[in-house]
Amino acid sequence: MYALHYIIRGQGTLETGGDVFRLGAGESFIIFPQKEIYYYPDAYDPWEYVWVEFSGADAGQLLELTQLSEVQPVLTKAPETLQPFFHLAWNAGVSLCEMLRADARLRLLLSYYMEYYPKEPQMDTKDYVWLARKYIEQHYWKPALTVTEIVKAVNLERSYLFRRFKGATGKSVLEYITSYRIRRACELLKTSGLPIQSVAYSVGYNDPLYFSKVFKKATSHTPSAYMMLHAELTEHQRNKAQLPDSRK
């Protein structure tokens, strides 16, 4: 049985595994199943806390996504907004509906611990590359998007990211930004009906002339020629679809 606590006021002490934690209001701690632990209130300023008990493999898996562990069973500066969820999670009846609602409220409480105290992810190379690609795909429209910004967002050493990114995608970070912008520009030119200047702005180019130069280098067509070409292809396909079948 797990027992998760939130200290409302006062002070107390937690002893476990040879460690001693002096705790106060706004802090949170957990007791793990079959773990030898001692906790007691301060003699002059005894604590008052709320707590919730729970068990099950699912709960353990959710706790693994937080910073709570048998080695570190204490969290400091827990937000006051957590307190009401302890009452909600604890107040459960005996009917199936009430137990299901209590389980949902417990998961809600644990979700806040996952949000406020997330476990530091241990990512491999492909995860960092995926993060970098996703960041580019979500921010490509920003004219001021820089490699430095991407490196900071991914939180990885610059040269290491560059090598891994190139190895995974076949492109440098800058080449990938340009490639993605041109791909999005192609989609807009084919389907949106926007003027070329607006397309350029939409994919992160403040200068339509420079956009046209980059676009032609990537596609062998100017944006206007590309738009006309696909308009003609679309019209041809539409007309072909409307032709009667001579075999009928």
- Token pair of 209, please? 């002339």
Instruction: Compute the average pLDDT of residues 147-173.
Output: 87
Q: Which two tokens stand for residue 8?
A: 């409302």
Q: How far apart are CA 74 and CA 185, in angstroms?
A: 51
pLDDT per residue as tens digits for the range 42-97: 999 999 998 888 887 777 788 888 888 888 889 887 777 777 667 665 555 556 77
**Strand partners for 50:** 6
H or E element at residue 245 = none
**Quick one: pLDDT at residue 56?**
74
Residue 224 pLDDT greater than 50, yes or no: yes
Q: Give the integer Cα–Cα distance in Å for 89 and 93.
A: 11
Q: Read off the pLDDT of residues 121-147 as tens digits, 9 standing for 90 and up.
A: 556 667 888 899 999 999 999 999 999
Most confident region among 25-39, 66-80, 92-106, 172-186 by mean pLDDT: 172-186
Say how far apart CA 82 and CA 171 lie, in whole Å. 45
SS3 2: strand
The answer to whether residues 105 and 85 touch, using CB atoms and an 8 Å cutoff, is yes
Q: Which of 238, 226, 130 is nearest to 187 (CA)?
A: 226
Domains in the chain (CATH in brackets) are 2-116 (2.60.120.280), 125-239 (1.10.10.60)
Cα angle 139-141-146, degrees, rounded to a multiple of 5: 60
What pLDDT score does 205 carry? 96
Q: Residue 42: which residues within 8 A CB-CB, separation 6 or more?
A: 10, 11, 12, 13
Average pLDDT across the chain, whole number? 84
> What is the DSSP-derived secondary structure letter of residue 120?
P
Identify the H or E element spanning 36: none
| 17: CB partners within 8 A, 6+ apart | 36, 70, 71
What angle do the packed helices 158-169 and 173-191 form, to 10 degrees?
A: 50
* Cα within 13 Å of Cα(92), Cβ side: 20
Find out whether 186 and 219 touch, Cβ atoms under 8 Å: yes
pLDDT at 102 over 80: no
Cα distance between residue 47 and residue 150, in whole Å: 46
The bridge status of strand 74-75 relative to strand 11-16 is unpaired
Rounded CA-CA distance 209/154 in Å is 32
Tokens 């008052």 — which residue?
48
